[in-house]
Amino acid sequence: MKIKNLRLALQTAILASVVAVVGHAEETKTATFSERALQAKIQYCTYCHQPSGEGYPLASIPRLAGQQTEYLVNQLQAFIDRRRVNMFMFKVAHSLNPDMLPALAQHFSELNPKPVGGGPSELADAGKKIFEDGVPEANIPACAACHGFEARGKGPVPRLAGQVDPYIIKVLENWGKERGQDPAHPDTSAIMEPVAHGLNESQIKAVAAYLSYLE
């Protein structure tokens, strides 16, 4: 009985040692950047995206606050891979330690400032209808079907609530020039292409106005 208990104790000790070594190895593997380096990159991002990630409408710089982490990582990777076009973001994304992307995304996802608004309020009702019901006569589905009725997105589907008005307009009007630039390796944003091309200018402006006020 004593021998059996001794064997069990030895097996338990060996297993605990293996788990500890593996855990330490994983920790060492993932710890490829310092907290100081992460904070420096966060501060750099806020020079354009603002201190709380609320975005900057005058320059069409998007809100990052509250954004889905998976979506943010996907988009940073899209800039790195040049599947998405933005000359400034090419340089920013390529300067990042790849292991840092989830941490950066997590930081901004946890912020929740009030939306800056700014979209023409008289267009908000029309935008709400398009967002919730789509445009049936043009075969445009409801935006809420993917982004949720609160427009907060999920996983690879981005949050749109509180997004700055000029940015949404710019992205939708230039979808084919900015997104999906590597057809051989399409990302999840490909599903938006027919929607972006199907909405007319007034409809885009209405949706953008509505979303700019959502919290």
- Those residues with Cβ within 8 angstroms of residue 134's Cβ, 6 or more apart along the chain or in another chain: 140, 141, 142, 143, 145
Which residues make beta-bridge pairs with 135?
140
State the Cα angle at 79 between 73 and 83, rounded to 5°: 110
Domain assignment present for residue 9? The answer is: no
CATH of the domain at 192: 1.10.760.10
Residue 161 CB neighbours (<10 A): 21
What is the structure's pLDDT at 185?
82
What 3-state DSSP class applies to 163? coil
What is the structure's pLDDT at 6?
39
Domain assignment present for residue 163? The answer is: yes
Distance CA 5, CA 2 (A): 5
Domain assignment present for residue 167? The answer is: yes
Would you write out the chain's pLDDT as a tens digit for each of its 215 residues? 444 443 444 344 433 443 343 344 444 445 689 999 999 999 999 999 999 999 999 999 999 999 999 999 999 999 999 999 999 999 999 999 999 999 999 999 999 999 999 999 999 999 999 999 999 999 999 999 999 999 999 999 999 999 999 999 999 999 988 888 888 887 778 889 999 999 999 999 999 999 999 99
What is the structure's pLDDT at 24?
41
Domain assignment present for residue 133? The answer is: yes
Domain assignment present for residue 28? The answer is: no
Domain assignment present for residue 30? The answer is: no
Element (H, E) at 198: helix 193-198
What is the structure's pLDDT at 10?
38
Domain assignment present for residue 13? The answer is: no
Q: Are 115 and 210 in contact (CB under 8 A)?
A: no
State how many domains the chain has: 1
Q: Are 31 and 99 in contact (CB under 8 A)?
A: no
What is the structure's pLDDT at 119?
94
Q: How far is CA 65 from CA 62, 138, 159, in A?
A: 9, 32, 9
Domain assignment present for residue 154? The answer is: yes
What is the structure's pLDDT at 45?
97
Distance CA 120, CA 169 (A): 12
81 closest CA partner among 94, 72, 97, 65: 94
Domain limits for position 154: 35-212
